[in-house]
Each structure stands twice: as C-alpha cells, then as structure tokens.
Structure 1
Amino acid sequence: MLHDLTRVLGLWRSRWGWLIAGAIVSILAVLAGVALLAFAGRGVSEGLRTGALAGAAAGSLILLRPLIFLRPGARYFERLVTHAATFRALADTRVWFFRRLAERLPGGLGLRGAGDLLGRLVTDVEALDGLYLRALVPVTAALAVVLAAAAILGALDPALAAIVALPLALALLLPPLLAPGAARAAERVAEAQGGLRAAAIDPLLGIEDTLAANAEPRAAARLSAAAEVLTAAQKRLSRRSAWGGAAGTVLAQAALLGALAYGLSGGPAAVGVAVVGLFLALAAGESLSALPRAGTALAAAGAGARRLFEAADTPPPVAEPATPAAPPKGYALKVEGLHFAWNQDRDPVFTGLDMDLPEGGRLALLGPSGAGKSSLAALLLKLAAPQEGRILLGGVDIATLAHDEVRARIACLTQDARLFDDSIAANLRLAAPDASDEALWRALDRAGIGDVVRALPEGLETGCGEGGARFSGGQGRRLALARVLLSPARILILDEPAAGLDPSAERAFLETLDTATEGRSVILIAHRLLGVERPTRILRLIAGRAIPAMR
C-alpha cells in the first residue's frame, strides 16, 4: 500500500505547490483554534488565580478578538485551497490513467468488463482524494495541534504537558495502526464495487440480447447478489472505522481527564494551569476526531491506487523504441516475411506475408472473415507487433519509429468507426485539432456529406448523439470518412468501410471513396469488390499469404 500511495504522490508532483499550500492553510486554521482556546483558558486561569474573573476575561478578550475572525476565515480558505489542490491532482491522475489505457487497450486489459474499467477510472480515482483531504491534511493538522499544545503546556508545567500530550500523541498513531487492517477491507469494497458495476452495465450494453433471451430476471439476480457482496464489504470497513473512532474518542477523553485530575490533585496554582490544559485538550480533540477516519481513508486510497496501477502497469502490446529512428521522407509501404499470431496458443495469422504499396498506389486486399485482413491493419498501425519479418515505411522499419510518427502517416477507417456524443466539428477535429471550419467543410464535401450538414439548423455544431445515433448508417460512415480525410496521413487503410450498409448505400459510399482518397495511398480491405473500386493491384489473403488475384 505504501508503495502505491508513494507513486500517487509522484503523479501529483506538478501540483505540490497547491498541496503544500493547502496543508499550510490547514495548519494555520487549527493553530488559530488552539490560540483561541489557549487565550480563553489563560483568561479563566488568571481569573481563578486573582479572583477577578470578569477583569481577566476582559483582558483576554482583547487578544481573542482577532482570533475570533481569523479562525473562520482560515477555515474557509482551507476548504478552498485543499479542494482546489485535490481537484487538480485528480484531474492529472485521470489524464495519466487514460493515456496509459490508450497505450494498452489494443492488447486488451484483461479486466472483467466495461463496468470494472469504469470503476477504476471513476471510483478508484475519486478514492484518492482521501489520501490528501482525509488523511494527509488532517494528520498534518493534528500533529501541529499536538506539538503546539505540548509546547504551550511545557512552558507552563512540564508534568501537565506530559499528562495531556501523551494520549494525544497516541491518537496520532491511529491512522498507521488502522490502515493495514482497513486496507484489506477497502480492497474488498473496491473489488465489490467493480463487480456491481459490471453486473449493472454489462446487461445494459447488450440490452437487446438480454431482452430477447428473457434474461432480465437473471441479470437482476446477479445485480442483487453483487449489491449484497458490496454491502457486506462496506459493513466490515465501517466496523473498523467505528472501532477506530471509539479509540480516538477514548484517547481524547483521557487527555481531558488527565488535565482535570492534575488540577484536582494539586494546589490553586495547579488548578489554573489545568484549566489551560483542559482548553487545549478540547482544541486538540476537534482535530484528533478526524484521525480514525484518516486511517480508513488511507486504506481506501491505497486500495484504489493498487487497482489503478494494476491496470496501468499492464505491458503495452507494442513497446516504444528506446531511441526512435528519424521519420521517413517517403511513404511507400513494404511488408517482408511477416509471421504473426495473436497468442502462442492460437494458429498463426500470417506465415511469410509479402506485399508492397508504392506511393499513390491503391491496393485491394480481399479475403473471408478470419483471413487476417484486420490483423494486417493492426500491424500497420503498430497496435500489434509481428513475431518475424518487418514492415517498411519509406524504407524505415516501423518497429524503430515512434507510434505517433507511424499513425501520423497511416490513418484507418474501420468498419465500426465511432462517432462520439459531441458536435460534428468536435468529432472531425479528433483527426486535426487545429483544423479551421473551412477545412472541415472541404472534408465533408469530399466525403459527400457536406450538403446534408449545411441543411442542419446548427450546422457543424449539430450533436451526433451517442454512437452517432443522430445520423443514418450511411451518413455516419461518411462523417467518419470526412474525419479520416482531415488527417494529414498519406496512407489510408479502409477496413470494410461499407460493412453493414444496404447495397445501394454501399455502392454510393465506395464511389465516394474513389474520388475522396485521390492523391493518397489506399489499402482497401474487403470481402469482395463491387466493380466501382479502381485498385491498381488486388491481393487475396490465403493461408497467411498474399496471393495476386485476377480482376
């Protein structure tokens, strides 16, 4: 757990200024409270000693006035700064985790489904706010309170300082003592939350199949069972937190009783000093009351961090070269002696594949399902790596090129190209973030969808809906084509681009492809040709090799 939490703090190093500022403001807030009660206790003590309580209180009130306003102000700024620091740190964590997932998704994360992945991206990241807000900040503030109380009482009466400070110091040990046991319970809670999300989301993702099979009762039973597992895990964690809270209360009360006993057992001077001790113990009690929860929060953050790093540390399917080669000047593509299998226990997809695509060439790659057409696209995009052979781009082995360099030169339009729940403009700019509106319209016109978009009331700002639900299959495919055309890539892979369209829409779309991709190298992956395509070469994938096909 400690190793994982240390890694989290390392991810937050760019926000350390905010994090340290929040801790400082928190310390100032609690010290203002200590000073407030210390002066109040000193006033009461002086009043008891001199017998003029009203006069002593009036004198202390002069010192209390600025503290009365300082303490709530410091509390307010503490909330502002600590939460601002936390939100920034968590935002950085989500971006880091998303980037790690993006590198590893092509090879599969091996998680239990979309629900579990969502839990790691949302709940486990949110659990990390407890590391700072409910663990580090409260513990730091409590330590400052105990040290301040010990210093003040030590100057007045060392014996009383020891009596009051000892149980308060023991309370500081509660978070590290509670964290190991709570960590095991927190891990069960995190795993149960992932199971609950999987049980809820998986049937919804396949709701048509669920309903068609009359599987709603089974899905509901699975969801109920997952909820019971989560409830039981949360109860175990709550019991540990309750025991910790009880221990913290006992120690805080021990400090109060110690100060009271010291005053009752001593003379008049001891009574006055004991009053100060009582007030300081009360001041410390407020900060120490958060420590048992800090132990639980630390455990929950540790469990969340472990699950995050478990996913983020999955080896990427293709590692970046240690020293990337210089980008090639040309974009001729050549495949030499390619041998590839997705897993060692599966049949090979390619067994000595050779092919080449000159600059500006148009290659049609045909074959039935399972022949390896989409596998070749994955290899060309460095989403997978061959076991033998090489792929040359402009004469340079792509294994020696950075991923970004390869994908800047090779773009792919897949058969299930997705439109995201955003505007048309935002969907298109995924390929070119700085593209102007004029460039977007040119891409839309080349894809044969420009007039349709112009007719929409909101034009480029029209929402696509989830999965492009706002548009028909053919329209959505043309929007995806426009996005690919907006890319500066000189090689386009069109992987079953018209799959799922009716015959007339398929023919119209393929006719559009021929003119829209003019001037670029094209690899058209398909089961068959309709006759409207104009490839310069046709290859058929058979038994892991590329065989020239007759037109």
Structure 2
Amino acid sequence: MRTIFGRLLKLNLIYWQWMSLSVLLGAATIGSSLGLMSTSAYIIAMAALQPSIADLQLAIVGVRFFGISRGVFRYLERLLSHQTTFRLLARIRIRFYEGLEPLAPAHLLDFQSGDILARIISDIETLQQFFLRVLAPPLIAAIISILAGLFIARYHLPLAWLLISGLFLAGVLIPGLIRSLSRGMGQRLIQTRAKLQATLTETLQGAADLLALNADHAQLKRVNEINRTFLLLQRQTGRFQALGDALSGWVIHLTIAAVLIIALPIVSNGGLSGVDLTVITLAIIASFEAVLPLSEAFQNLETTLAAGRRLFEVIDAEPTVKDPLKPLPRPETFELQSEALSFQYEETGPLAIADLSFHLPEGGCLAIVGPSGAGKSSLVNLLLRFWDPSGGRILLGGQDLRDYSASDLRSWMAVLSQNTQIFNGTIKENLLLARPEASEEQLIEAARRAQVHDFIMNLPETYETWVGEGGVLLSGGERQRLALARVLLKDTPILILDEPSANLDPLTEQAFFDSLCEIIEQRTTLLISHRLVAMDLADQILVLHHGRLIEQGDHISLLKAGGFYRRMWDLQMQAEVVERIPNLNFNRNSCFKLS
C-alpha cells in the first residue's frame, strides 16, 4: 500500500503549487464559516443586552465579510481543485497509454478488452478522489483544528484542549475504526466493477452469437449476478459511511455537552461571560465541518489505492519486445531472410515455428501456405516485432530485425490481413490513418489502384461516408478494398498479405487478387494463406505444417511433386466443385456423391 500511495502522491505533487493553494482556499472557506458563526453568535448574544448599535458595528461588518468570503473562497477552491485534478487525470491517461502501447499485442492477451477499458476509464476516474477526497481533507482539517484551537484558547485553554480531543476523535479515531471494519471492501468494489464492465463489453461484442445460440438468458443471468454483488458492496460501503457520519455527529453533540458542563460553572463564577460562551459553542460546532469529510477520506483511500494498483499493474509490465539502445537506420535494401527461426508463445508451450529458413529478395514475392495452426500468422507477428524469436533470427537488409526499433520496422511494412480493423469514422478518416499528411490527390490515387474509388463516389457522401464500427456498413469485399487502399496510401517497401481474401466469395476474391498484381510487382511481398489462390504470383512457396517447413518450390513444381501441397490443392478444388454444383450430396460413406 505504501508503494502505491507514494507513487500516487508523487504524481499529484507535479501540481503541488496549485494543490497547496487549493488547500489554503479550502481552509479559508471553513475559516470563513467559523468566523461567520462566531460573529453571528456574538451579535445574537449581545443583542439580548440591548447595547448601542455602534458596539455591534464591527461584528455586523464581520458577518457580511465572512458570509461573502465563504462563497468566494468555496468557488475558487472548487474551481482550482477540479482544474488541477482534471489536468492530473489527463496526464495519468497519457502515461497509462504510453505504458499500454508497448505491451500490444503480446502482453495484452493476459487481459480482457473490457477490463482494459475499465482501467482506462473507471479506474482513472476513481483517482480524481485521491486529491479531492483523500489528500486535501486531512490537510484542511489540520489547519482548521490549529486555528480553532488557538481561537478557543483565547477564551479558555482547557476548553481548547477539549475541542482538539473531540476533533481528533471525530477526524482520526472514528474514521480509523470504520476503515478497519470495512478493510478490503474498497478493493473488492473496484475489482467487481471491473469484472462487471468486462462482462458487459464481452456481452455486447458477442450479442449476435449469444442470440443465435439461445444463450442470451444465461449470459444475462451471469451479468445480473455480478451486478447484484456490485450493488451489495456499494450498499455495504454506504452503510459504513453512514455509520461514520452518525458516530461523528454523536461526537459533536458530546463535545458541546462537555463544553457546557465545564463552562457553565465558569460563567457562574464570572470567569467567562454568557456572550463568550455563546461564541465558543457555535465556533466549536463550525470547526467540526473540517473533520466530517475524513471518514469518507479513509474509505476513498482504499478505493483509490485499489484503482492505482490496477493501473500500475499495466504500466509496470515489462514489454515483450524492447528496442535496442542504438537502433539501426533505414536499410539500403529490403530483402528478408530467416535463419533457423524458432518461436513459442510460452516457455513451456509447443513450438509455433520450428527451424524455419527462407530468403525473400527485394522486390520478390514469397508465399507461405499451410493449414490453420501451421505457424503462418506467428511469422507475421515476428516480422512486426510483436514478439521476438525464441531461437534463430530474421534479417532485414542483412541485419537482425532486433537491431531496428519496432516503430521504424512497422513504418517500412504494410499489413493487409483478414481481420483488418475499419474504425468507426468516415472513409477518408480511415484512409488517412496510414498517412495523416496525405493530400486529396494521393488519397484518391490509392483508392483508384485498390479499385474502390468508383464505389466510394457512388455513395451519397463519397469519402465523407460513415462506415460504422468495424466497417459494418460495408460488405466484406468493400472493407478489404478499403483496407488495401489504406495499405497503398502508406506506400511501404514491404507488403505482408495475411489471409487477405479469407472472408471473400470466389468471384470477389479473384477480382481482389487481380487488383493486387501490379501492386505486388513493386514491393517485397509476403503472401500468407491457407487457401491456394493466386499462387502463380509467388516466386517461391513454402509449405508449413505444425510450424515446420515440409515443402518448398513454385506452384507447378509443388503440384507435380504430389505431396502435402498437392493434397491441399485437390481438397480445395473439390470444395469449389461442391459450391458450383447444386445437386451434390454428402454422406458418411462418400465425401462427394453426385445424385
């Protein structure tokens, strides 16, 4: 806890000048309340003695001053404290994203997307309580306790010590008791909230599948169970907070009762006047305003520490890939080569790639094919340095890939995959992600080469057309062509095609690869697919199975060899026959039977 508290305190101290001023303004606000109650008590008590109005003139001015200053100080304190907090939250969000970005995608596999969203939004929002509800109240309470004690000591020193004791009991002992009774509840509350948000996100993302599987009621039941747990924790937290407020209220009444018991004999003996006792009593009541928020502050401490712990858990995580201290500059050539490349996602897990070697000259096209789980996508992850090899190495321009910075490598490569993300925005905004400074002419040229410009121009708002989240308002072929246009706009020397036509029908697929012919000739291209489509574009084909290279050659030679590649080809051709012949039936005794 101390480490998390210290780190949160260090973050807050960046704005220590503003925070100090905010605390002083908060103390001035309660000090004005103390002055208002004291001067009001003086006027009321003195009025019973029917003095000259001139004797009350200073107190009347004091009432006006403290009444106006209390509102002014409160406004300035709220303005400054919230402005400081919002700036701090913005800084924390940036720091969190800076820590999160190097972890993608390898380390983020350990987290649910909804949980990451909960940390970015809810946990960071919780941290606004750290200054407003945790740090500031004890500091303000300390200042007011000292001032109130000195003020009462002017009248009677034992009464001042009685006030300090009451403030200590209400502001320290009772909040400490409430925190010990509710220990661990704040952390459970934050964890349950994150679980609820993650589950809701997962439910929304998979709503269509849940409905199709008729599992929506079971999922709703699961959400309701988590929600009930969250509400129960909130109610328990509220009960403890109410208990703390009630006990603090009792302390105020007991303190006033004790003051009256001690002070009344003194007044009777002439040691204090009745006016003084009235001022003392109302001043003591006003001074408790400073310590009443401390019970909530102790509870907020645990929730903010739990939120901070969740944030630092991500920020402190070691990236799977680290850049070299002195990254190499842009290579002179963009040939790719692997030497005895091996890779496994976990140290004790199976090899996703085993002893793979290949050479892709600059401007050449290499196809890597194989069934699902052959290690094809793992190779893409290594090329983009999302992970580093477990053994062997990949060379770019004759230099180890690990000698380049990850951001530089990704700026020289463009990836077109089956799951290319289309963002919730306009067509133009999606294209400009590849090159924000691109001109209108460059954007249109990229769309023309991807054969999507005519389609865009037929839309009501052309390039300003909204495509929806994930490009839901576009067909599969339109999304892939839009993604291809984005790749072309990036204009990189290396092009990686990772299952680019996996979700396309045969006619759309053929048209899609026709548009790739000219593009491939101008770049170092790696084509990865489990479908043997457009294999004649490749200079060489590598066949992987369970992460191992089992065959290599060009399309014709591999077909003639009659090995694994030929079996994949025959199965694919048979599947295409099934799609084209409507009166083809399937039974257990024969894979394909004409009726």
TM value normalised by structure 1: 0.91
2:112 corresponds in structure 1 to: 113
1:371 corresponds in structure 2 to: 374
Query: What is the rounded CA distance, in whole Å, between the counterparts of 1:53 and 1:224 in structure 2?
Result: 70
1:462 corresponds in structure 2 to: 465
Query: What is the rounded CA distance, in whole Å, between the counterparts of 1:445 and 1:17 in structure 2?
Result: 56
Query: What is the rounded CA distance, in whole Å, between the counterparts of 1:439 and 1:265 in structure 2?
Result: 92
2:27 corresponds in structure 1 to: 27
Measured against aligned partners, the alpha-carbon deviations of 1:108-151 in whole angstroms (never above 9, x if no partner) come to 44656344333323222222122122222222222222122122
Structure 2 unaligned segments of length 5 or more: list them: 556-595
Instruction: Determine if contact 1:540/1:548 at 8 Å carries over to the other structure.
Output: yes
Query: What is the rounded CA distance, in whole Å, between the counterparts of 2:171 and 2:439 in structure 1?
Result: 58
Shift of 1:44: 5.1
Shift of 1:61: 1.3
Query: What is the rounded CA distance, in whole Å, between the counterparts of 1:423 and 1:140 in structure 2?
Result: 50
Query: What is the rounded CA distance, in whole Å, between the counterparts of 1:436 and 1:45 in structure 2?
Result: 79
User: Given the alignment, which residue of 446, 451, 467 partners 1:448?
Assistant: 451
2:394 corresponds in structure 1 to: 391
Shift of 1:483: 2.1
User: Given the alignment, which residue of 483, 490, 494 partners 1:491?
Assistant: 494
Q: RMSD in angstroms over aligned alpha carbons? A: 2.7
Deviates more, 1:105-114 or 1:303-312: 105-114
AA in 2 matched with 1:99: E
AA in 2 matched with 1:492: L
Instruction: Determine if contact 1:109/1:311 at 8 Å carries over to the other structure.
Output: no
Shift of 1:462: 2.1
1:412 corresponds in structure 2 to: 415
2:266 corresponds in structure 1 to: 266
Query: What is the rounded CA distance, in whole Å, between the counterparts of 1:17 and 1:159 in structure 2?
Result: 37
Q: 1:451 to 1:78 in 2, by over 3 A?
A: farther
- Specify the SS of the correspondent of 1:106: coil
Counting aligned pairs with the same residue, the percent is 33
Deviates more, 1:27-36 or 1:376-385: 27-36
- Specify the SS of the correspondent of 1:122: helix
Query: What is the rounded CA distance, in whole Å, between the counterparts of 1:4 and 1:146 in structure 2?
Result: 28
1:284 corresponds in structure 2 to: 287
AA in 2 matched with 1:403: A
2:554 corresponds in structure 1 to: 550
Query: What is the rounded CA distance, in whole Å, between the counterparts of 1:449 and 1:346 in structure 2?
Result: 43
Shift of 1:6: 2.6
Shift of 1:41: 4.0
Deviates more, 1:232-241 or 1:171-180: 171-180
1:37 aligns with 2:37: yes
- Specify the SS of the correspondent of 2:537: coil
Instruction: Determine if contact 2:417/2:500 at 8 Å carries over to the other structure.
Output: yes
Instruction: Determine if contact 2:107/2:319 at 8 Å carries over to the other structure.
Output: no
- Specify the SS of the correspondent of 1:266: helix
1:234 aligns with 2:219: no
2:249 corresponds in structure 1 to: 249
Instruction: Determine if contact 1:350/1:372 at 8 Å carries over to the other structure.
Output: yes
Shift of 1:466: 1.1
Alignment of 1:324-335 (within 5 A): 324-330=326-332, 331-335=334-338
Query: What is the rounded CA distance, in whole Å, between the counterparts of 1:517 and 1:179 in structure 2?
Result: 66
1:139 corresponds in structure 2 to: 138
Deviates more, 1:277-286 or 1:431-440: 431-440
Shift of 1:503: 0.9
- Specify the SS of the correspondent of 2:88: helix
Query: What is the rounded CA distance, in whole Å, between the counterparts of 1:158 and 1:13 in structure 2?
Result: 37
Shift of 1:47: 6.0
Structure 1 unaligned segments of length 5 or more: list them: none
Shift of 1:518: 5.0
Measured against aligned partners, the alpha-carbon deviations of 1:472-498 in whole angstroms (never above 9, x if no partner) come to 111111222222223253212111111
TM value normalised by structure 2: 0.85
Shift of 1:548: 2.5
AA in 1 matched with 2:360: L
Q: 1:310 to 1:41 in 2, by over 3 A?
A: same
- Specify the SS of the correspondent of 1:294: helix
User: Given the alignment, which residue of 537, 540, 543 partners 1:540?
Assistant: 543
- Specify the SS of the correspondent of 2:394: strand
Alignment of 1:288-367 (within 5 A): 288-321=291-324, 323-330=325-332, 331-367=334-370
1:205 corresponds in structure 2 to: 205
Measured against aligned partners, the alpha-carbon deviations of 1:371-428 in whole angstroms (never above 9, x if no partner) come to 1110000011111111111122233322233221222222322210111112223222
1:88 corresponds in structure 2 to: 87
Q: 1:272 to 1:517 in 2, by over 3 A?
A: farther
AA in 1 matched with 2:207: I
1:162 corresponds in structure 2 to: 161
Shift of 1:15: 4.5
Deviates more, 1:35-44 or 1:204-213: 35-44
Deviates more, 1:362-371 or 1:377-386: 362-371
